[in-house]
């Protein structure tokens, strides 16, 4: 397989955690350098909010379609699979480069995460890097400490201010044309999931509308708010093992419904780690799945925290 090469600190690096607060400097490339178009008065809602609102309203359809255990299982499965695309793909790979993979698998992870309808992989990762650079400080785009629950949970996503992709923050991956295409056409994977649910329900003798509503609509809305809680709750609810420069916290419940993202204080202490549950009792489903993929050599060089990082005294 063709390896995607990026410049990263080695897994055994002794770089102090404080230096990892900075966004990893990307390798030079020919991607177009464009400053993010942060819109004046951008706290106003965007017209693009309409599909987001309609998706929520469409959940009412559960009362008008056939109910079946199969449809509910489809909802749970598509929630889990697409959550993995967000956590293992958008977050741990594109945002933090905590492991390596081939170009085809890189695109597959991007497609899977984009199917959750949370915009494109380059948009998502660029804004997440900005969050880490200014976490709970002026410049953080979704800090509940500074801006409250509503803005950090959903306000910043549906506002006009952050619609643009910050290309300067994601030059390392913006050099791939297939990722730029997916970033621009981020609605395509979601529509593909919707179509597959509808016709899959008809093909297998179930109700196409039932599979569409439960498998696509309900699971997508649950994905929205599952991942949004990491931004809105993981800086105000939970415990702090490490003394970081922000208010990040570890929360078991958030870790369960996000596949391991709830160990947020761990993550902000050492963001380069592919596993966010640093200890065996900290459940991290995304890491378990990545480990299994590494046995198949689909991913490799999984970076874990060095012992001296784990041994830091409790904050």
Range of the domain at 229: 48-238
Bridge partner list, 159:
45
For residue 243, being part of any structural domain is answered with no
How far apart are the C-alpha atoms of 105 and 139, rounded to whole Å? 33
pTM of the entire predicted model:
0.85
Token pair 């109700």 is found at: 207
> Would residue 297 be called left, alpha or beta, if left means φ above 0 and alpha means ψ between -120 and 50 degrees?
left
For residue 249, being part of any structural domain is answered with no
For residue 210, being part of any structural domain is answered with yes
Q: What is the pLDDT of residue 205?
A: 73
How far apart are the C-alpha atoms of 189 and 186, rounded to whole Å? 7
For residue 65, being part of any structural domain is answered with yes
Question: What counts of helices (H) and strands (E) characterise the chain?
Answer: 15, 2
What is the sign of the dihedral through the CA atoms of 200, 203, 209 and 211?
negative
Q: What is the pLDDT of residue 206?
A: 78
For residue 2, being part of any structural domain is answered with no
Q: Which residues contact 84 (CB under 8 A, 6 or more apart)?
A: 112, 259, 285, 286, 289
| Number of domains, the chain | 1
Q: What is the pLDDT of residue 43?
A: 55
Q: What is the pLDDT of residue 144?
A: 95
For residue 232, being part of any structural domain is answered with yes
Q: What is the pLDDT of residue 44?
A: 60
Contact present, 248 and 264 (Cβ < 8 Å): yes
Q: What is the pLDDT of residue 8?
A: 42
DSSP state of 20: G
Burial 241-255 (b: 16+ CB within 10 A, else e): bbebebbbbbbeebb
Bridge partner list, 300:
100
For residue 295, being part of any structural domain is answered with no
Q: Which residues contact 25 (CB under 8 A, 6 or more apart)?
A: 7
For residue 146, being part of any structural domain is answered with yes
**pLDDT averaged over consecutive 10-residue blocks of the chain (315 residues)?**
48 41 40 42 66 95 94 97 98 98 98 97 97 94 94 91 93 97 97 97 89 97 97 95 95 97 96 96 98 98 93 60
């Amino acid at each position: 397989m063709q390896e995607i090469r990026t410049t990263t600190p080695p897994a055994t690096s002794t770089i102090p955690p404080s230096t990892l607060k900075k966004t990893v400097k990307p390798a030079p490339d020919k991607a177009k350098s464009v400053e993010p178009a942060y819109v004046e008065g951008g706290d106003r809602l965007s017209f693009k909010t309409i599909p987001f609102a309609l998706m929520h309203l469409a959940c009412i359809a559960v009362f008008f379609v056939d109910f079946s255990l199969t449809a509910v299982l489809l909802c749970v499965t598509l929630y889990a699979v697409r959550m993995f695309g967000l956590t293992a793909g958008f977050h741990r790979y594109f945002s933090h480069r905590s492991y390596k993979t081939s170009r085809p698998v890189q695109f597959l992870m991007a497609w899977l995460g984009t199917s959750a309808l949370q915009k494109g992989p380059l948009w998502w990762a660029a804004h997440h890097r900005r969050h880490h650079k200014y976490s709970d400080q002026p410049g953080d785009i979704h800090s509940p400490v500074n801006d409250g629950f509503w803005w950090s949970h959903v306000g910043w996503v549906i506002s006009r201010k952050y619609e643009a992709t910050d290309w300067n923050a994601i030059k390392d991956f913006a050099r791939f044309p297939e990722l730029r295409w997916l970033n621009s056409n981020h609605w395509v994977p979601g529509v593909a999931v919707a179509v597959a649910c509808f016709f899959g329900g008809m093909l297998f003798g179930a109700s196409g509308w039932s599979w569409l509503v439960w498998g696509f609509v309900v699971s997508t809305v649950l994905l929205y708010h599952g991942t949004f809680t990491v931004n809105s709750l993981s800086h105000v609810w939970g415990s702090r093992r490490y003394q970081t420069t922000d208010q990040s916290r570890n929360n078991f419940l958030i870790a369960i419904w996000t596949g391991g993202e709830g160990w947020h204080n761990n993550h902000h202490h050492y963001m380069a780690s592919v596993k966010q549950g640093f200890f065996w009792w900290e459940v991290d489903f995304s890491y378990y799945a990545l480990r299994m993929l590494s046995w198949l050599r689909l991913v490799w060089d999984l970076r874990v925290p060095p012992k001296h990082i784990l041994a830091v005294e409790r904050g």
